[in-house]
A and B are shown apart, each in its own frame.
Chain A
Amino acid sequence: MTKRISTIKNQDRSVKILLAPLLVLIILVSTVPIILSVLAAFTDWVAGIDVDINFVGLANFKYMLTDMQFFASFKLGLIWSILVTVLTTIMGVCVALLLNQNKRYMFPLKLLALSPWAMSPPAIAVIWITLMNVNSGPFNVILRKLNVPAGKIGFLEDPTLFFPTLLVIGAWALMPMITLSALASLKILSRELSEAMDIDGVTPLQKLRHLILPHLRPVLVPLFALNLIWNFGAFDLIYVILGSFPPPNSEIPIVFAFRQAFKYGQFGYASALGVTIALFELVLVYAILRKQMRESNQ
């Protein structure tokens, strides 16, 4: 028996050798940078050639605690992440429930609802900038047609409207992942149970509450946790839209850290911000998922 296992191990060695270069690359571009980034957080590293790098202990973190702009962006990031995740989860489940009917006319809606997943952040930005334009955007044109005096709304230019508009764009762009997962989960919902409930005269609302939502829960809770941190770090979309409309204090922490590094060259400080963001995300995911794991163990 032991002999057979050892030959199997030897047999797989050829595959391992084949994959060794991949392992080296993973270490080079994934592991080493993370370690370096954590180390850099404790230095005064700034961009430039032949700059001395000194170990400064916790100085970056101390500075961060006095950096009001970072706090503002952190708060904004939290609000953005919570709102957009709640919004996409609720709407995504609604769309999945709609799509989960075996009707042929639902197919185009399915393609439409999932299509943002196939688009790049700059493409999404172009689409919504065109749609929300002050002069030619259809919303503004319709408002003017209705003789509303405010038919020139700068959805993306107005500082008070910028954030709500961003939420709508975020909901549009980030929903497909949730729709798809909820849809996949609904496909394995017991049809017999569902039909039995219909015959027993259970109202659709009761069915939603007692059958469908509990069924979706194990899929939705981890997805909610992951989306919360993904959206907290949703760099691309916001960075691109901000590129053309930078209202004051509208940066979420990831974009803030990115600018610190690539605009001001503050690699040490940016790394400290990155480490803080990563730690925060880890704690968040752990807190949400621990509760669920405990429940599933019972």
Chain B
Amino acid sequence: MKTLRVIGTVFFTIFFGLPLFWLVSTSLKQELQIGSSDLIWFPTKPDWANYSEAVNRSGILVAAWNSLWISTVSAFITTAVTAPAAYLVAQSKGWFSKVATGWVLSSQVFPSILTVFPLFLIYVKIGLFNTFTGAIILYVIFNLPFSLWLQRGFVKNVPTEILEAGRIDGASGLKVLRYVVLPLILPGSIVVFIYAFINTWNNFLVATVFLQGNEKQTLTTQLARFIGTEGLGLFGPFAAATVLSVIPTLLLFIVLQRKFTANLVAGAVKS
């Protein structure tokens, strides 16, 4: 059993580690070393030229800025609307909560591609096509189902006595939400924010269909363009650009993962 465990650990460390290691190593190699038929695990003299070339390439910096700006705004709006929505769903026992749950479930089952064709035409008609506003609206709505599910566990943990005390004192729902619920579900809001940011940063479908202008590219679509148009000629700068695109989400993810697991555990225990 112990040997099995060691073999498993070694296998999965290589399986998950090697691709990342090779990416970083490629991004630090010179062009000759990349094309070399010898195996160079890691360049003895790391060369940062690929990074400066990736940054100087037309589009990458603009795309990074677009990604950052769209992801931040989308994550803020998602977090801001998820809290009251989760509160309402948890509070109401009637049709509203059923409809909301039904929507959350069906949005997971329905292929998003099915909504993309007509949405494209609607967006062209009402002038939201190729605008950041239009893309942000889509990101918020696409992030919402899972965010609601995440936040629901936190809202449920708010003791009903506290809510009722606030109510009997005559505070409006908005006040209860703001002064009682929001501070208590702050951890949930943080989880939702990070999830929404990572999800938006990495989204490809929305960006590739709804943001087609050259100056509207995000990092994901810009990378995909490189793969598509320039093929494989420029491994070094590609790898460098990919490393740059992965760093922000990876950092956020390292912060998130412990809370994420804890939240999943809480949800599992409850149900």
Is there contact, CB below 8 Å, between B173 and A112? no
Which residues in chain B, 39-53, are within 8 Å of chain A measured between CB atoms? 39
Is there contact, CB below 8 Å, between B239 and A126? yes
- Encode B192-235 as 1/0 by CB contact (under 8 A) with A: 00000010011111000100000000011101101110011001
Is there contact, CB below 8 Å, between A142 and B35? no
Interface stretch of the complex, out of B149-157, B183-191, B241-249: B241-249
Partner of B19, one of A127, A181, A274, A282: A127
Interface stretch of the complex, out of A57-65, A66-74, A228-236: A228-236
Nearest residue, chain B, Cβ from A261: B117
- Nearest CB on B from A283, distance (A): 11
CA A37 to CA B116, docked complex, whole Å: 9
Is there contact, CB below 8 Å, between A278 and B16? no
Is there contact, CB below 8 Å, between A18 and B111? no
CA A1 to CA B93, docked complex, whole Å: 17
Which residues in chain A, 243-298, are within 8 Å of chain B measured between CB atoms? 243-244, 254, 257-258, 261-262, 267, 270-271, 274-275, 277-278, 281-282, 285
> Main SS of chain A's interface residues?
helix
CA A261 to CA B250, docked complex, whole Å: 34
**A142 to chain B: which residues have CB within 8 Å?**
39
Partner of A33, one of B15, B22, B23, B118: B118
CA A254 to CA B116, docked complex, whole Å: 12
**A13 to chain B: which residues have CB within 8 Å?**
173
Interface stretch of the complex, out of A21-29, A78-86, A158-166: A21-29
Asked if A15 is an interface residue, CB under 8 A from chain B, the answer is yes
**A128 to chain B: which residues have CB within 8 Å?**
19
Asked if A144 is an interface residue, CB under 8 A from chain B, the answer is yes
Asked if B180 is an interface residue, CB under 8 A from chain A, the answer is no
**A219 to chain B: which residues have CB within 8 Å?**
268
Asked if B18 is an interface residue, CB under 8 A from chain A, the answer is yes
Is there contact, CB below 8 Å, between A141 and B205? no
CA A122 to CA B107, docked complex, whole Å: 24
**A131 to chain B: which residues have CB within 8 Å?**
18-19, 22-23
- Nearest CB on B from A45, distance (A): 9
Is there contact, CB below 8 Å, between A130 and B239? yes
CA A130 to CA B221, docked complex, whole Å: 18
- Nearest CB on B from A194, distance (A): 14
CA A204 to CA B20, docked complex, whole Å: 33
**B137 to chain A: which residues have CB within 8 Å?**
25, 29
With contacts A37-B118, A274-B113 taken as known, whether A25 is within 8 angstroms of B223 at the C-beta atoms is no
Is there contact, CB below 8 Å, between A126 and B205? no
Is there contact, CB below 8 Å, between A254 and B113? yes
Asked if B127 is an interface residue, CB under 8 A from chain A, the answer is no
- Encode B13-35 as 1/0 by CB contact (under 8 A) with A: 10111111011001000000011
Scoring B18, B201, B242 by chain A CB atoms within 10 A of each residue's CB, the highest score goes to B242
Is there contact, CB below 8 Å, between B109 and A258? no
**A144 to chain B: which residues have CB within 8 Å?**
37
Q: How large is the interface on B (under 10, 10 to 19, 20 to 34, 35 or more residues)?
A: 35 or more
Partner of A180, one of B114, B122, B261: B261
Binding site for B on A (CB under 8 A): 7-8, 11-16, 18-19, 22, 25-26, 28-30, 32-34, 36-37, 40, 91, 94-95, 98, 109-123, 125-131, 133, 135-136, 138, 141-142, 144-145, 172, 180-181, 183-185, 187-188, 204, 219, 226, 229, 233, 235-236, 239-240, 243-244, 254, 257-258, 261-262, 267, 270-271, 274-275, 277-278, 281-282, 285
23 sampled A-B residue pairs with Cβ under 8 A: A11-B167, A19-B88, A33-B116, A37-B117, A37-B118, A95-B12, A98-B8, A98-B12, A114-B253, A119-B250, A121-B202, A122-B204, A122-B221, A125-B224, A138-B22, A142-B39, A229-B109, A235-B205, A240-B227, A254-B111, A274-B111, A278-B109, A278-B111
Binding site for A on B (CB under 8 A): 1, 5, 8-9, 12-13, 15-20, 22-23, 26, 34-39, 81, 84-85, 87-88, 91-92, 103, 107-119, 121-122, 137-138, 140-141, 144, 167, 171-174, 176-177, 198, 201-205, 209, 219-221, 223-224, 226-228, 231-232, 235, 238-239, 242, 245-246, 249-250, 252-254, 257, 260-261, 264-265, 268-269
